[in-house]
Amino acid sequence: MTLQIAVAQLNFTVGDMTGNAQKIIDAAHTAYAQGARLLLTPELSVCAYIAEDLFLRPSFITACDDAVKTIARETAGLNGMAIVVGHPVGRDQRNKSINISQRINVASVIREGRVIENYAKRMLPNYQVFDERRYFAPGQGIGVFQVGDVSVGLLICEDAWFEEPAQLAKEAGAELLAVINASPFHVGKGYEREAMMIERVKATGLPLVYAHMVGGQDEVVFEGHSFAVGANAQLAGRAPSFVEQLYFVDVTRTANGLTLAAPTAPARDHDADLWDALVMGLRDYVDKNGFKSVALGLSGGIDSALVLAIAVDALGKDAVHAVMMPSPYTASISLQDAREMVRRLGVRYDEISILPAFEAFKISLQPLFGDKPEDTTEENIQARIRGVMLMALSNKHGHLVLTTGNKSEYAVGYCTLYGDMCGGYAPIKDVVKTAVFRMARWRNVHDPYGTGSNPIPERIITRPPSAELREDQTDQDSLPPYEVLDAIIERYMENDMGIAELVAEGFAQADVEQVTRLIKLNEYKRQQSAVGTRVTHRSFGKDWRYPITNKFRA
């Protein structure tokens, strides 16, 4: 073996430069003891990704600079070891009217107590959740350094999706490409990365090691899934997804050049990745923000059932409080199914009738409502009573309230502002209704965290979904079937198809007009909604930036 590379596939926390630096130091010492002489950490590992406007604060950059110095000092005794760390460098020229970015996104190579090489990211993404041109100027240089007798070329994330940076590294003498990354997850993204890096290897003829971050940060999740590609453009190894670990890649020089060898985790199906992303997104949001427990309203319906299952897998049953808040319109089977699910999972469960509060509201408002018939007003009052009760439990006991709405509901506004939208985190905000049903069935078959098999009663999955805010109500009373609704949402919202294109694909004009109109009208609700885990390539979060006041509809 010519060189052993360790990939620090670790979970970093934004702004915790001291903690992140210590993780890197510990990883370096562990990797060194096991024979590695090159440690790759992810993009912006020192401060973690995505730090957003923290990058604009001079004190934040100073703290990053100090952390890099600490890493250099504490690893100075690791003779011959190179450590690649990601961090921001530089400050802006800024006043109230202009901002000229002089900050760069850097990979620094530390060896024996000092920085021997800096490489600045050349290609800055500015789409989906990325705002890198707001914070960074593009790099102009090339980063090639020696580890033993191997010449390593550095790339940072987006650089590797374009031909020029890798080709320039090769022309500067690189024999192996080391790509450090912080690339947000969406379903299927890991295999898209593998395919793209194989193309990069084909273009350059150089083997490649892809080092990726793992963990949740607000709405985004990084799944790990680091990997290596040999010079023959074949996968040489793959790290497990959604797991922190030091991942080792062996590099051997032969007569035909460098060969790579590493353990290869099995390929996973998309639903397994989706479940782990939902679990990790919630767990890290709770843990990194200092919460100890969560509360949610359990209705006996499919959405709250799925959120409860995610919460138990993420946090354990003792950290979850489920509350059933029946109204006069709650079906007896909803109560039965809710009780059965909490029995299966073993979480704390309470029932609080909203009837007394509902009647009190109606009495108080009757002089102002007069003889107007009951309508959505009374439906929304019920949802808002439940929100008040959950927030009271949050205030009294310190729970983070989980809101249980799905992407289909957020799209068309079938959720109540200050009611069922009430909460601090929305675990299935980016999961459409058809996927909610699919994932409920998936979880009933699989028990990936050992919290109990078959947690969701079958009747919750098979009965028609209903908000149960009036007699004999179902979701499909006023919406297209979910198979149609979700297909329109995917095409219109996620992929920017226009109304004429949707109709040309065979969707009914009335359905298309209704759904696209509702998406437009409910922007004001979404902009007041809780953050939630992003699992598609376009969510109702940082990568959906539409004005509320708007007369245009595509």
Strand-pair category, 227-229 with 235-238: antiparallel
Main-chain dihedrals φ then ψ at residue 228, nearest 5 degrees: -130, 145
| CB 327 within 8 Å of CB 380 | no
Q: Where are the alpha helices (DSSP H) in 205-296?
A: 270-288
- Which two tokens mark 205? 């003829």
- Whether 199 sits among the annotated catalytic residues: the reply is no
| CB 117 within 8 Å of CB 103 | no
| CB 482 within 8 Å of CB 433 | yes
CB within 8 A of 123, min separation 6: which ones?
138, 158, 159, 161, 162, 165
- Whether 362 sits among the annotated catalytic residues: the reply is no
* Residue showing tokens 């009933």: 444
Length reported for the chain: 554
| Active-site option among 23, 43, 170, 175 | 43
Q: Which residues of 311-343 are buried (b: 16+ CB within 10 A; e: fewer)?
A: bbbbbebebbbbbbbbbebbeeebbebbbbbbe
| Active-site option among 23, 47, 132, 157 | 157
Q: Give the whole-angstrom CA distance, residue 258 versus residue 495.
A: 41
Q: Give the whole-angstrom CA distance, residue 379 versus residue 478.
A: 15
| Active-site option among 23, 47, 121, 407 | 121
- Whether 157 sits among the annotated catalytic residues: the reply is yes
Closest C-alpha to 438, from 448, 450, 426, 446 = 446
Q: Give the whole-angstrom CA distance, residue 512 versus residue 500.
A: 9
Q: Where are the alpha helices (DSSP H) in 239-375?
A: 270-288, 302-315, 332-345, 355-369
CA distances from 186 to 54, 177, 284, 374, 427 (A): 25, 25, 17, 43, 14
Provide, for the chain, the percentages of residues in helix, strand and coil under a 3-state DSSP scheme, each rounded to the nearest 5: 40, 20, 40
Catalytic positions are 43, 121, 157
